[in-house]
Chain A
Amino acid sequence: MAKLKLPTPSEALDRVRETEVWKSIFRPGSIFRRGYRDTSRDRALATMNNVLYHLHPVKMKRHGLKLTYTFCLGGLSFFLFILLTITGIYLMFFYRPAAELGSAQAYTDMQNIRTSVFFGDLVRNLHRWGAHLMVFSVTLHMARVFYTGSYKPPREFNWVVGVLLLFLTLGLSFTGYLLPWDQLAVWAVTVGTSLAGYSPLIAKQANFLLLGGVIVGPDTLLRWYVLHVLALPFVLVIFLSVHFWRIRKDGGISGPL
Chain B
Amino acid sequence: MARDDTPLDQETFDRVLAEELGKGVDRRVAEGRARAAAVRAARAKSGEAPAATPSAAAPAGDGDGATAPAAAPAPAPPAAPAAAPAAAVPAGVLAAAPIAAAPVPAGAGAATLTAPERQAPPPSGNVPEAKKGAPEKHRLLALVPPEGIQRVEREQGDRINVWPHLLIEEFVAMMIVLAALTIFSTFVNAPLRELANPNLTPNPSKAPWYFLGLQELLRYFHPMVAGVLFAPTLVLLALAVAPFVDRNPSTKPGDRKLAITLFTMLIMFGAVLTIIGSFFRGTGYNWVWPWAQGIFFEL
CB of A58 within 8 A of CB of B263, answer no
- Alpha-carbon gap, A180 to B190, bound state (A): 11
B134 CB–A CB distance under 8 Å: no
CB of B209 within 8 A of CB of A132, answer yes
Contacts of B71 in A (CB 8 A): 28, 49
Given A59-B88, A153-B243, A188-B205, also A125-B188 (CB < 8 A): yes
CB distance from B278 to the nearest CB of A (A): 12
- Alpha-carbon gap, A138 to B191, bound state (A): 23
The interface on chain A, measured as residues whose beta carbon lies within 8 A of the other chain's beta carbons, has a size of 96
A226 CB–B CB distance under 8 Å: no
Of A83, A129, A155, A174, the most chain B CB neighbours within 10 A belong to A129
B52 CB–A CB distance under 8 Å: no
CB of A35 within 8 A of CB of B74, answer yes
CB of B188 within 8 A of CB of A41, answer no
Given A48-B90, A129-B181, A188-B206, also A76-B174 (CB < 8 A): yes
B1 CB–A CB distance under 8 Å: no
Measured CB to CB, the nearest residue on chain A to B203 is A187
Binary A-proximity of B229-258 (CB < 8 A = 1, otherwise 0): 100000010011011101011111100100
CB of B224 within 8 A of CB of A200, answer yes
CB of B251 within 8 A of CB of A61, answer no
Contact of B263 among A76, A146, A174 (CB under 8 A): A146
Given A72-B170, A76-B177, also A195-B90 (CB < 8 A): no
Contacts of B207 in A (CB 8 A): 188, 191-192, 195
CB of A254 within 8 A of CB of B210, answer no
Given A58-B93, A60-B159, A198-B224, also A104-B195 (CB < 8 A): yes
Q: Which residues of B contact A (CB under 8 A)?
A: 70-75, 80, 83-84, 87-90, 93, 157-167, 169-170, 173-174, 177-178, 181-182, 184-186, 188-198, 200-202, 205-211, 214-215, 218, 223-224, 226-229, 236, 239-240, 242-244, 246, 248-253, 256, 259-260, 263, 267, 298-299
Q: List the 4 shortest-distance A-B pairs measured between CB atoms, nearest first.
A: A198-B227, A149-B251, A125-B185, A156-B243
Q: Which residues of A contact B (CB under 8 A)?
A: 28-29, 31, 33, 35, 39-41, 43-50, 52, 56-65, 67, 72, 75-76, 79-80, 83, 99, 104, 107, 110-111, 114, 121-122, 124-126, 128-130, 132-133, 135, 142-143, 146-153, 155-156, 159-160, 163-164, 167, 170, 173-174, 177, 180-188, 190-192, 195-200, 215-217, 254-255, 257
